[in-house]
């Protein structure tokens, strides 16, 4: 047994950690499916570790602080996401632009894009943290959060806002490295930060008895560590990106191209975030048990959707670099490979969630009512993961081409014209369970629009090189 298992484990460990191995994936040559997967799996592992920040908070809060505290932490998450969503779209635009510059072999343009991105994100993080702190009570009130949960939610949120600068900074580093084809390096930083976060969560909550504020402090400290490690690597060890922290220069022309590409993605993220807030407002009217169930099941759901989302991000970089190199036929083959891989994974995950969803929820809480309601959500939503994978694969291609406004339109229709109205109508007939059925209703609409645009939208004529 050991002679079979150990080489596999060693190979996985080596491919992620050994510094002398190639960290970049060559998207311009070789087997397409293998290249996309080699780029995806470190990014997937990285996002899993990133999600563990919130999952660790929820698990420790649920077991040590109770259902009310778990509900408060869960209710804060959509608000935090809403505050950062629009700005993070600029990171998406810069990553696409960097990918095209990299494919076109323009290092000085890469530097200008990176410098402008970091300056913008620093200012944005500072302003959003201030706004979020000042108006937290008003926003949580608009979300219909029960008044007895308000002090806990505000305590968690106020500390979490302090981590916006390192959070934005780390995501900028990660976006830059993805643009040049390196998805493995950010994984290393996240592994360190996540392990630190778990230790600090237990230390603050179990040993120091700091309550929900302690879980937020653990996350902020861990995010700061990831950011510092990322900046250090970018400044001293990365050869493909000319970067000096204290000599950054804002380049308006390149930044506004990033805005042009990234703003639709930012609006898309914001629409998703505001949609989460709207759905949370519906859920919050049903009390602490349903809030906790929705929060926990949503965290599991976010894990389950990560492979499709990361494959979509990988395809975006793949498409950007191949358009920069003028290889359009390879772009189409990349989409088909991504859909194939994503579909296989989504079917496997749906089966696992159906069979073991209640055990997954038990990781966060022992409340039988929360477990039962969370399982209902997972059964409904997981049955349609395959549609999500198709929709996101096509959206990934369109972002890489530069047509980021099309995925934004898909999200607008699927979320705001279908999912949220459907959730409200269904909830009037079936109670809180009807809200769960709004999720697949939106995915069905989004998939139809995305497939339709790919087939008939003449996107091949839009392959403009923004790196020109």
Mean pLDDT of 152-176: 86
The pLDDT of residue 22 is 44
273: tokens are 């975030």
Assign 351 a pLDDT band (cuts: 50, 70, 90).
very high
CB 269 within 8 A of CB 86: yes
Q: What is the mean pLDDT of the chain?
A: 80
| SS3 label, residue 367 | coil
- What are 44-72's pLDDT values in tens digits? 777 677 666 666 667 787 777 777 777 77
Q: Looking at the predicted structure, is the pLDDT value of residue 465 above 70?
A: no
Query: Are 92 and 117 a contacting pair, CB within 8 Å?
Result: no
- Four-residue CA torsion sign, 446, 331, 107, 35: positive
For the purposes of burial, counting CB atoms within 10 Å of the CB of 448, is it exposed (0-12), middle (13-18) or buried (19 or more)? middle
Q: For 87-98, how does the pLDDT look when each residue is reduced to its tens digit (9 = 90+)?
A: 676 777 777 777
Report the distance separating Cα 313 and Cα 321, nearest Å.
Answer: 13
Q: Which two tokens stand for residue 375?
A: 């399982």
Beta bridge mates, 24: 182
Whether the full predicted model's pTM is greater than 0.75, yes or no, is no
**What ranges do the domains of the chain cover?**
30-462
d(CA 371, CA 364): 9
**Residue 394: pLDDT above 90?**
yes
**Number of CB atoms found within 10 A of residue 122's CB:** 16
């Amino acid at each position: 047994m050991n002679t079979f298992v150990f080489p596999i484990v060693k190979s996985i460990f080596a491919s992620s950690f050994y510094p002398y191995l190639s960290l970049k994936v060559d998207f311009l040559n070789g087997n397409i499916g293998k290249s996309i997967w080699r780029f995806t799996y470190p990014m997937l592992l990285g996002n899993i570790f990133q999600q563990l920040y919130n999952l660790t908070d929820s698990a420790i809060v649920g077991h040590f602080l109770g259902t009310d505290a778990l509900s408060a932490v869960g209710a804060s998450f959509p608000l935090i996401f809403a505050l950062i969503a629009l700005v993070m779209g600029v990171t998406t635009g810069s990553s696409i632009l960097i990918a095209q510059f990299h494919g076109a072999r323009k290092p000085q343009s890469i530097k200008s894009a990176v410098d402008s991105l970091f300056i913008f994100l620093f200012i944005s993080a500072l302003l959003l943290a201030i706004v979020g702190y000042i108006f937290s009570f008003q926003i949580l009130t608009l979300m219909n959060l029960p008044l007895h949960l308000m002090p806990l939610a505000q305590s968690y949120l106020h500390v979490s806002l302090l981590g916006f600068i390192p959070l934005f900074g780390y995501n900028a580093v990660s976006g830059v490295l993805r643009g040049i084809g390196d998805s493995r390096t950010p994984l290393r930083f996240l592994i360190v930060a996540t392990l630190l976060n778990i230790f600090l969560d237990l230390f603050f909550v179990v040993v120091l008895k700091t309550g929900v504020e302690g879980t937020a402090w653990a996350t902020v400290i861990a995010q700061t560590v990831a950011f510092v490690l990322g900046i250090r690597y970018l400044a001293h060890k990365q050869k493909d990106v000319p970067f000096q922290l204290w000599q950054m220069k804002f380049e308006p022309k390149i930044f506004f191209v990033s805005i042009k590409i990234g703003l639709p993605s930012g609006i898309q993220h914001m629409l998703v975030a505001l949609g989460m807030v709207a759905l949370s407002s519906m859920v919050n009217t049903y009390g602490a048990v349903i809030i906790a169930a929705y929060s926990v099941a949503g965290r599991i759901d976010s894990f389950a959707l990560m492979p499709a989302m990361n494959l979509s991000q990988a395809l975006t970089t793949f498409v950007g670099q191949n358009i920069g190199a003028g290889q359009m036929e390879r772009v189409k083959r990349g989409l088909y490979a991504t859909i194939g891989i994503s579909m296989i994974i989504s079917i496997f995950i749906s089966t696992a969630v159906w069979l073991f969803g209640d055990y997954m929820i038990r990781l966060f809480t022992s409340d039988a009512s929360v477990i039962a309601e969370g399982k209902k959500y997972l059964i409904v939503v997981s049955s349609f993961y395959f549609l999500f994978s198709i929709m996101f694969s096509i959206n990934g291609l369109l972002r890489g081409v530069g047509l980021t406004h099309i995925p934004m339109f898909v999200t607008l229709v699927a979320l705001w014209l279908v999912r949220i109205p459907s959730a409200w109508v269904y909830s009037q007939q079936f109670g809180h369970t009807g809200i769960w059925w709004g999720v697949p209703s939106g995915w069905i609409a989004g998939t139809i629009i995305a497939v339709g645009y790919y087939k008939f939208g003449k996107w091949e004529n839009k392959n403009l090189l923004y790196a020109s």
